[in-house]
Amino acid sequence: MALSTPKVLVTGACGQIGSELVPELRKTYAKENVIATDIKEPPPELKETGPFEWLDVTNRKSIGHIIKKYQVDIIYHLAAILSAKGEQNPSLAWQVNMIGTYNILELARELGIKQVFIPSSIAVFGPETPKVMTPQETILLPKTMYGITKVAGELLGEYYVRRFGLDVRGCRYPGIISYKTPPGGGTTDYAVAIFHEAIKNKKYTCFLREDTVLPMMYMPDCLKAAIQLMETEASRLKHHTNFNVAAMSFSPAELATEIKKYIPEFEIIYQPDERQAIAETWPRSIDDSAAREEWGWQPDYDLPRMVEDMVRNLMANLNK
C-alpha cells in the first residue's frame, strides 16, 4: 500500500523564516500539502502556491479546526514575538509565545500529530551564561520576556516528549540573516537592515555598539537546520527541543568591513539603543557539538560567503 504524503501546518508563515521555509517544504511535500497560516496578509508567493489560512495561535479552537480540516501530520510552529518587540509588549510576548506554544502542544497530543518543530533561540541564555563557545547544557537565566518564553517552550516541549511520547524538536537559532522578508523585531535585526541601507543610501546608523559580537546564521543554513533535524531518525536524538546550532559570529564593525569590500563608500555610525542591553546578555559564540554529533549539523555559510550572497541578491533585486 502506498503511503500518503504527510500534511504540514506552518504557523507564523509570513515571518522572516516562514516565508522561506514554506516554499522549501512545498518542494518536499507538494504544494497542496503545506498549509501556511498567519495573522497577517500573506505575500503572493505564499498565497498563490498553496493553501493559506488565517490562524491566531492564541485561539486553540481555531488551531484544532485547521488541524482537523487538513488532517495535519506535522507542525512547524513559528508564530512568535521576538526579543525587542517582546520588551515593548511583554504581555503580548507571553500570550503568543507561551499560550500559543501550549495550544500547539496540547492539540498535537490530543489529535495525534506525528512531529512538531518549535524553534528556540540564543535568547535562552543570560548574563550568567559562559559567553564564549556557550555549552549545550549551561545556565539558562534570560532577562527578556522573549528569552523566558523560549526557555519555558524548550522545557514544555521536552515534557511532552517524555510524558506523552510526542515527537517535538527544536534548535536554538542565532540571529537569522536573509534578504527576502524583513526580520520581525529582534535584537539581531541590524545585521539585515545594514545591507539594505548600505546598498540604498551607503550609510547606516547601527543600534548596537561596534564591538558587540553575536552568533548569526544565513537563511539557507537556518532552513537546512530545521529540515535536517526533523528528518533525523528519532532514535539518534538524545536532546530534542534545545539543540545549540552555530554558523558564524561577528560584530557590527566586522560586518561593515566585509560589506565595504563590495561598497567601498559605505559608512556606519553607532547609536546604541535599548537593544544593546539585550545583546549584552547573549553569548558571543556557541558550541554546537551535540547537533553535529546527533544529527550531522554543519553550516555552509561563513561571514564572507554570506555577505557576498546578500549583496549580490539585494543588488539584483534593486535592478529588477
- What CA–CA distances, in Å, run from 89 to 58, 83, 145, 176, 185? 16, 10, 9, 22, 11
Please, are residues 202 and 265 in contact by the beta-carbon 8 Å criterion?
yes
Q: Which residues are catalytic?
A: 146
Q: How far is the CB of 73 from ligand NAD (least distance, A)?
A: 20
Residues touching ligand AKB: how many (CB under 6 A)?
Answer: 11
Asked if 184 touches ligand NAD (CB under 6 A), the answer is yes
How far apart are alpha carbons 252 and 206 in whole angstroms? 8
Binding marks (x or -) toward ligand AKB, 76..115, rule CB under 6 A?
Answer: ------xx--------------------------------
Binding marks (x or -) toward ligand AKB, 188..227, rule CB under 6 A?
Answer: x---------------------------------------
Instruction: Name which of ligand AKB, ligand NAD, none residue 83 binds, using a CB cut-off of 5 to 8 Å depending on partner kind.
Output: ligand AKB
Q: How far is the CB of 236 from ligand AKB (least distance, A)?
A: 26
**Strands ordered across the beta sheet of 8-11:** 52-54, 34-38, 8-11, 74-77, 115-117, 168-169
**Of 312, 133, 301, the residue nearest 213 (C-alpha):** 133
Amino acid identity at 211: D
Asked if 134 touches ligand AKB (CB under 6 A), the answer is no
- What CA–CA distances, in Å, run from 317 to 21, 301, 304? 20, 21, 20
Torsion of CA 316, 251, 181, 268, to 10 degrees: -60
Binding marks (x or -) toward ligand AKB, 156..185, rule CB under 6 A?
Answer: ------------------xx----------
Instruction: Name which of ligand AKB, ligand NAD, none residue 39 binds, using a CB cut-off of 5 to 8 Å depending on partner kind.
Output: ligand NAD
Looking at the Cβ atoms of 45 and 56, the one nearer to ligand NAD is 56
How far apart are alpha carbons 131 and 126 in whole angstroms? 9
Q: Which residue has the cell 515534557?
A: 159
Grid cell of 172 as nine digits: 536554538
Binding marks (x or -) toward ligand NAD, 251..290, rule CB under 6 A?
Answer: ----------------------------------------
Neighbours of 86 (CB within 10 A): 27
Strands (E), 129-234: 168-169, 171-173, 175-177, 203-206, 214-218
Among 19, 103, 121, 249, binds ligand AKB (CB under 6 A): 121
Asked if 39 touches ligand NAD (CB under 6 A), the answer is yes
Point out which residues bind ligand NAD (CB under 6 A): 11-12, 14-18, 38-40, 55-58, 78-80, 82, 96, 100, 119, 121, 173, 175-176, 183-184, 186, 188
Point out which residues bind ligand AKB (CB under 6 A): 82-83, 121-123, 146, 174-175, 186-188
